[in-house]
């Protein structure tokens, strides 16, 4: 049997100790369903707060980073990429999954360079989001980047995407029209709005430490 608690620790997934005990589900059994290239699926039997039992199927994910790259003009570096599960070309901020043991800021630097060709001289950690809390441990850290200089892209084999730039106003319009529906990018846009308004200041650094 795989110890899911150890897996969560290994994947940097931290459970918040919730004092609302009347909402907590407790694991009774744990079964591995599938182990793929980077997704790991399980089915747990749990005891509900009222004493009844239920099943929970979920996926262990290594975590990821998303970058909000700000050009000196105020426009944002964006991507268009075909996402097979939804059979659509999506508008997104650059993002990518963490490699085992990889520093999160180094991951953000790597993904920005590989996917867009840009390097950034200043970085700021914004926060973290959990995009699919009902069935996955996935978390996505949100990083801002500025002082951009353009070099060559280093796309992975089999990776195809377009890089373009857009204004915050265009992103908002596409969100309202339904052209932009990617959850992480919508969350990034919320951060961007509040940062630009001055409501959510950022701590810019040249070599930030992973939070």
Q: Are the C-beta atoms of 32 and 7 separated by less than 8 Å?
A: no
- In-domain check, residue 205: no
Are residues 56 and 68 both part of a single domain? no
pLDDT on residue 12: 45
pTM of the model: 0.88
Phi and psi for 55 in degrees, rounded to 5? Answer: -115, 145
Mean pLDDT, contiguous 10-residue spans, the chain (211 residues): 45 52 92 93 96 96 97 98 97 96 96 96 97 96 97 88 98 98 98 98 87 71
97 with 19, same domain: the answer is no
User: Which residues neighbour 10 within 8 Å (Cβ) at sequence distance 6 or greater?
Assistant: none
CATH of the domain at 170: 3.90.79.10
Residues 26 and 52 in one domain: yes
Report the DSSP beta bridge partners of residue 163.
79
Please give the pLDDT value at position 81: 97
Residue 14: the pLDDT is: 46
Rounded to whole angstroms, how far apart are CA atoms 67 and 130? Answer: 15
* 57 vs 82: CA distance, rounded Å: 27
Residues 70 and 158 placed together within one structural domain of the fold: yes
How much is the pLDDT for 6? Answer: 42
pLDDT of residue 20: 75
Do 82 and 15 lie in one domain? The reply is no
Per-residue pLDDT at 19 = 66
Domain match, 79 and 117 both: yes
Same domain? For 50 and 100 the reply is no
Domain housing 170 = 64-127+140-197
Do 29 and 112 fall into the same domain? Answer: no
Q: How many residues are there in the chain?
A: 211
- Report how far residue 92's alpha carbon sits from residue 80's, in angstroms, rounded to the nearest whole number: 6
* pLDDT at site 21: 80
Structural domain includes residue 203: no
User: How many domains, the chain?
Assistant: 2
Among residues 33, 60, 87, which one ends one of the domains?
60
Residue 211 falls within a domain, yes or no? no
């Amino acid at each position: 049997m795989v110890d899911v608690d150890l897996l969560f620790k290994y994947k940097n997934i931290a459970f918040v100790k919730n004092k609302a005990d009347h909402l907590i589900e407790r694991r009774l059994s744990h079964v591995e369903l599938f182990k793929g290239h980077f997704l790991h699926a399980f089915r747990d039997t749990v005891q509900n707060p009222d004493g009844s039992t239920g099943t929970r199927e979920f996926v262990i994910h290594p975590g990821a980073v998303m970058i909000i790259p700000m050009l000196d003009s105020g426009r944002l570096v964006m991507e268009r990429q075909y996402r097979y599960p939804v059979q659509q070309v999506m508008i997104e901020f650059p993002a990518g999954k963490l490699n085992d043991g990889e520093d999160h800021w180094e991951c953000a630097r790597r993904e920005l360079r590989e996917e867009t060709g840009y390097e950034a001289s200043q970085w700021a950690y914004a926060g973290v989001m959990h995009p699919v809390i009902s069935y996955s441990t996935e978390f996505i850290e949100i990083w801002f980047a500025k002082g951009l200089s353009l070099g060559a892209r280093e796309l992975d084999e089999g990776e195809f995407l377009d890089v373009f730039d857009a204004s915050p106003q265009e992103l908002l319009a596409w969100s309202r029209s339904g052209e932009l529906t990617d959850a992480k990018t919508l969350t990034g846009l919320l951060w961007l709005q509040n940062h630009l308004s001055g409501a959510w200041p950022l701590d810019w650094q040249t070599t930030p430490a992973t939070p």
